[in-house]
Amino acid sequence: MLSELKDKKKVVGSKQAKRLLMKDDVSLLYVAKDADKKITDELVQIANEKSVKLVFIENMKELGEACGIDVCAATVAILK
C-alpha cells in the first residue's frame, strides 16, 4: 500500500493536509503513529467527519521514505 505513494498526487505535511481535508479534496490520509498527537488527532477527527479513509503507518521515517522524501512525515494526504 505504501508503494503507491510515489506515484499518486499527494501533499506531505499536516498544514497542507488539513487545508485540503477542509475542502473535501482528500481521498485517503496516511498518519504516522509516532507523530505528535496534538497534530494528528485533529486531522484524524476531520478525516472521520469527512468519511476519508485513514491508514496508520508505524513511524514518520517510514512514511517519509515511502513518499520519496529525505525527511520524516507525520501525515500524507492522497488527493481525489
Nearest to 21 by CA among 5, 1, 43, 53: 43
Grid coordinates belonging to 20: 485540503
Domain count, the chain: 1
Phi, psi angle pair for 4, to nearest 5°: -70, -15
Which CATH number is 47's domain given?
Answer: 3.30.1330.30
Show the domain range for 68: 2-79
Residue 8 pLDDT grade (very low, low, confident, very high; cuts 50, 70, 90)? confident
Q: Which one-letter amino acid corresponds to residue 33?
A: K
Pairing of the two strands 75-79 and 10-12: antiparallel
Q: Which helix (H) or strand (E) segment is 61 a member of?
A: helix 60-67
Q: In the chain, where do the E strands start and end?
A: 10-12, 26-32, 53-57, 75-79
> How high is the pLDDT of residue 72?
94
Q: Is the pLDDT score of 67 beyond 90? A: no
